[in-house]
Amino acid sequence: MANNRKIPFESSTVWMEVKNIISQSRGATLFDIKGILHTEKEDIAVWDINPIITERDYLKSVGDTRIIRFKVPLGDYVNRIHPFRENLEFTIRRTPIATGGDKRKVNSTLSVTRYKAIFNPKNNPPIGASDIQMHNIEDLNRIDLVEVQIELCHRSLEPLRIKSTSGVFQKQTLSSFIKAIMGYEANQITIEGKPCIDAVDIVEPDNDSTLPHITVPAGTRVLNLPTFLQEEVGVYNRGIGTFFQVYRGKKTIFVYPVYDTERFKGNSPRVIFYAVPQDKLPQLDKSYMEEGDILKIAVTAQRVYTDTAELAMMNGGNGFRMPAAAAFMKKPVVTDETGPKANRARLNHETIIKSRKDGLNYAPVVQKGPSSNPHTQMSRIWKNTLGQLDIVWENADEELIYPGMPCRYIYLSQGKAISVHGTILFVHGLTTREGKLNTQAYRTTLRLTLAIEPFSHVPDIEFNGVKGEIDSELSIR
């Protein structure tokens, strides 16, 4: 993209906000991380963790995945870990520390989380017969260090994702029904005598009607219940996601619309991203601050933008038509002196989400028979109107992002600040050890994927990547 700046970046309102973030930041960018591996026999302290990889797919998954690698002496691996590989747990202790190494008060709290640890033999060193025959641990420990890789699953999520429910329920609103069923079923599971979740956080559904009855078939998984309801009766007009995550210290099930760019106008916690040229802040230690319910972040490094909305609307339509099932029970015809006539407005769901500039609107018939659920089709059309943006947040705190979080992205075009709204769909975190300090300090870099309103102005900061191309594994298309 062309660079058409009219004023220096340092004179822009964006730069003023970034300077405020740097001066007012009280959040941690470094963390002291310790690990303990739990076997059936003992607890093993792990001192060489590097790296920790976190993936949160708010569009397709129901919980996050963490992969950690650490080194242990060969004897400990052969005798203390490998024999118990089928039943392992792992505790991560995460302590915020200040940049520079001195511990002080920051707006982050100590967290201690115990996970179920999954050992995959394909990703770990094999054990040979000679290793097993050598029973002296000390001798093996002097031979070599080996790298162990395990996948971590939160102990609440492990049983929750296979828990099922069923039944017939009468006179329910979707909001109260989802909260009640998911909360009840989740609380049947206890971890160390405590309920496996602390809260169910649900964005109010677009479908606010009271349903006469809801039938949930046997075998429906609890975390799949919102998606089932979206397909059957409709919950949101802009897609649906369900995700378990620990946020602000609470084990929470989130239910949310994945493509609702208008939620930023509400009162829920939200985030503003400020686009900063990489050369202006090459080593940005303080990259974020919290101001009430608003998290402000300066994002640098690579940005990849994709906008295929126009092509998607040309092929799939920017609206839809669908016979309305309820209309057939409410006088679908009117009668005049010429006889009965069908009332089209009463018979159909007909919607144009976004009018095309060339006036060529396309609203195909999408349902062969009558349906009372236009929400799934609305979701498909809304998805087609959005672009996708990948950004990088350096020196991040991944615990401040929650599923479907509303966001605003602010960039400069011709020296003027332009903002677009979106939601966070994907988080990929890389936590690595910082070698400059004497402590076990770790930094985290996040790559965030946003579903975002199409850019109407050309950004002054060039994107790394060609418009229309994306190298992320996640695509909203």
How many residues are listed for the chain in this entry?
477
**What confidence score (pLDDT) does residue 2 get?**
46
Q: What is the pLDDT of residues 59-104, one digit of tens each?
A: 999 999 999 999 999 889 999 999 999 999 999 999 988 765 444 4
**What confidence score (pLDDT) does residue 100 get?**
53
Q: What is the pLDDT of residues 31-62, one digit of tens each?
A: 999 999 999 999 999 988 999 999 999 999 99
Helix (H, G, I), strand (E, B) or coil at 158: helix
DSSP percent split of the chain into helix, strand, coil, nearest 5: 20, 40, 35
Task: Give the H/E segment covering residue 139.
Answer: helix 137-143
Residue 109 lies in a domain: yes
**What confidence score (pLDDT) does residue 102 get?**
45
**What confidence score (pLDDT) does residue 208 get?**
92
**What confidence score (pLDDT) does residue 438 get?**
52
Q: What is the pLDDT of residues 419-447, one digit of tens each?
A: 999 999 999 999 999 865 455 789 999 99
* Cα–Cα dist 350/467, whole Å: 32
In three-state form (DSSP H/G/I as H, E/B as E, the rest C), the secondary structure along 189-224 is CEECCEECCCEEEECCCCCCCEEEEEEEEEEEEHHH
pLDDT higher at 362 or 283: 283
Average pLDDT, the chain: 82
Structure tokens at 260: 């609702």
Structure tokens at 78: 């052969």
Give me the mean pLDDT over the 216-224 stretch.
96
What confidence category does residue 378 fall into, taking pLDDT thresholds of 50, 70 and 90? confident
* Cα–Cα dist 329/477, whole Å: 37
**What confidence score (pLDDT) does residue 247 get?**
95
**Amino acid letter, residue 242:** T
**What confidence score (pLDDT) does residue 182 get?**
96
Residue 180 lies in a domain: no
Residue 52 lies in a domain: yes
* Cα–Cα dist 49/84, whole Å: 20
Q: By percentage, how much of the chain surpasses pLDDT 70?
A: 74
- Which parts of 359-442 fold into alpha helices (H)? 375-384
Q: Is-contact 154 244, C-beta < 8 A?
A: yes
Give 262-273 as a DSSP string.
GGGGSSS-EEEE
Residue 425 lies in a domain: no
**What confidence score (pLDDT) does residue 114 get?**
95
Query: How far apart, in Å, are the Cα atoms of 183 and each of 165, 168, 197, 272, 389?
Result: 12, 17, 8, 31, 34
**What confidence score (pLDDT) does residue 172 get?**
93
Q: What is the pLDDT of residues 13-33, one digit of tens each?
A: 888 898 899 888 888 888 999
**What confidence score (pLDDT) does residue 314 get?**
43
Residue 205 lies in a domain: no
* Cα–Cα dist 383/354, whole Å: 12
pLDDT higher at 310 or 366: 366
**What confidence score (pLDDT) does residue 362 get?**
47
Residue 113 lies in a domain: yes
**What confidence score (pLDDT) does residue 373 get?**
76
Q: Is-contact 366 323, C-beta < 8 A?
A: no
- Helices 375-384, 225-232: crossing angle, 10 deg rounding: 100
The number of distinct structural domains making up the chain is 1
**What confidence score (pLDDT) does residue 466 get?**
36
* Cα–Cα dist 157/197, whole Å: 9
**What confidence score (pLDDT) does residue 472 get?**
40
Q: What is the pLDDT of residues 379-419, one digit of tens each?
A: 788 888 888 999 999 899 999 999 999 999 999 888 889 99
**What confidence score (pLDDT) does residue 367 get?**
55
Q: Which structural domain, as residue segments, surrounds residue 37? A: 31-155
Residue 102 lies in a domain: yes
Q: What is the pLDDT of residues 328-350, one digit of tens each?
A: 455 555 666 665 555 555 544 45
pLDDT higher at 76 or 105: 76
**What confidence score (pLDDT) does residue 459 get?**
80
On the question of pLDDT at 170 being above 50, the answer is yes
Query: How far apart, in Å, are the Cα atoms of 153 and each of 50, 55, 66, 220, 275?
Result: 18, 11, 7, 22, 33
Give me the mean pLDDT over the 449-475 stretch.
64
Identify which of 397, 385, 401, 379 has the alpha carbon closest to the alpha carbon of residue 449: 401
**What confidence score (pLDDT) does residue 141 get?**
77
**What confidence score (pLDDT) does residue 458 get?**
80
What confidence category does residue 374 fall into, taking pLDDT thresholds of 50, 70 and 90? confident
Q: What is the pLDDT of residues 221-233, one digit of tens each?
A: 999 999 999 999 9
Q: What is the pLDDT of residues 114-124, one digit of tens each?
A: 999 999 999 99
Kindly tell me the sign of the dihedral angle through the C-alpha atoms of 451, 453, 455, 461: negative
Residue 274 lies in a domain: no
